[in-house]
Amino acid sequence: MVKLIALPYSPWSERARWALDHHHIAYREEEHIPMLGEWALRLRTGRLSGKATVPTLLVDHGEALCDSLDIANYAEGTGTGTRLFPDAHRAAIDTWHTKSEAALGSARALYIRRLLLSEQAKKDTLPGFIPTPLRGAFSPMTSMGASYLARKYAIATDLNRHETELVRILGDVDKALGGRRHLLGDDFTFADITMAVVLQLVAPVANEYLVLSPALRSVSTEPSLAARFSGLVEWRDALYAAHRKTR
């Protein structure tokens, strides 16, 4: 069985997981630990230089797919279920995916700023297998972990620029949808998935789909944007209800 190395609460990991589930691919999920898990990830994927990120899918014959889009394409090629990348929509899906990457980059900068300010949320990013009584002892590590992510993704101090970028792209989605259920005509496609996961860092989806502690839910929420784009949040919730399994 293939193995998905992922961060449970991360939108990039959710993007890959959604495509795998849509195509009924069985996989085992293993939790990645930012910073501490980086060398293990490098050794398993053979990526000794450059950025090592999750989600990463370890497929048969030891091959590693290190990007959520590659994982979604793998799912499309090997799984069953309706197509997420219909030929007629390929170019449009690529365009939406590029927008999603830009929006998530900006949303991550805003999220890390909020995370750095919340001791409880930083603690809650610790991997689930660390028992509650020991979690306090790990808190210096969580602060280092958050600062490490800020450095790794070169989180610019210009947060206004990130907010403007995120608003611009969410505005594009709103306009393109115009109240419809899907971005590309009648079909549910990867364009919907890749844009819906951006809202995870604006107004996270309900715990029945993706479990977040109260502190992580709070730092994953950007209240002003959640209110401004409440129609998009409703769209995302309807997509989850129609196309995503509960945990």
Ligand X SMILES: N[C@@H](CCC(=O)N[C@@H](CS)C(=O)NCC(=O)O)C(=O)O
Which residue number, 54 or 225, has a Cβ lying nearer to ligand X?
A: 54
- Dist. CA 127–CA 6, nearest whole Å: 11
To 5 degrees, how large is the angle CA 118–CA 9–CA 140? 40
Category of 32 on φ-ψ map: left (φ > 0), alpha (ψ -120 to 50) or beta: beta
Residues 6+ apart with CB under 8 A from 159: 109, 110, 113
- Dist. CA 8–CA 98, nearest whole Å: 23
Nearest residue to 125 via CA among 36, 4, 246, 226: 36
Closest distance to ligand X from the beta carbon of 169 (Å): 16
Closest distance to ligand X from the beta carbon of 55 (Å): 5
- Dist. CA 218–CA 100, nearest whole Å: 22
Which residue number, 53 or 220, has a Cβ lying nearer to ligand X?
A: 53
Question: Which positions touch ligand X (CB under 6 A)?
Answer: 7, 10, 12-13, 34, 38, 53-55, 67-68, 152
Which residue number, 13 or 142, has a Cβ lying nearer to ligand X?
A: 13
Which residue number, 55 or 204, has a Cβ lying nearer to ligand X?
A: 55
Closest distance to ligand X from the beta carbon of 105 (Å): 8
Which residue number, 121 or 228, has a Cβ lying nearer to ligand X?
A: 121
Closest distance to ligand X from the beta carbon of 66 (Å): 7
Closest distance to ligand X from the beta carbon of 56 (Å): 8
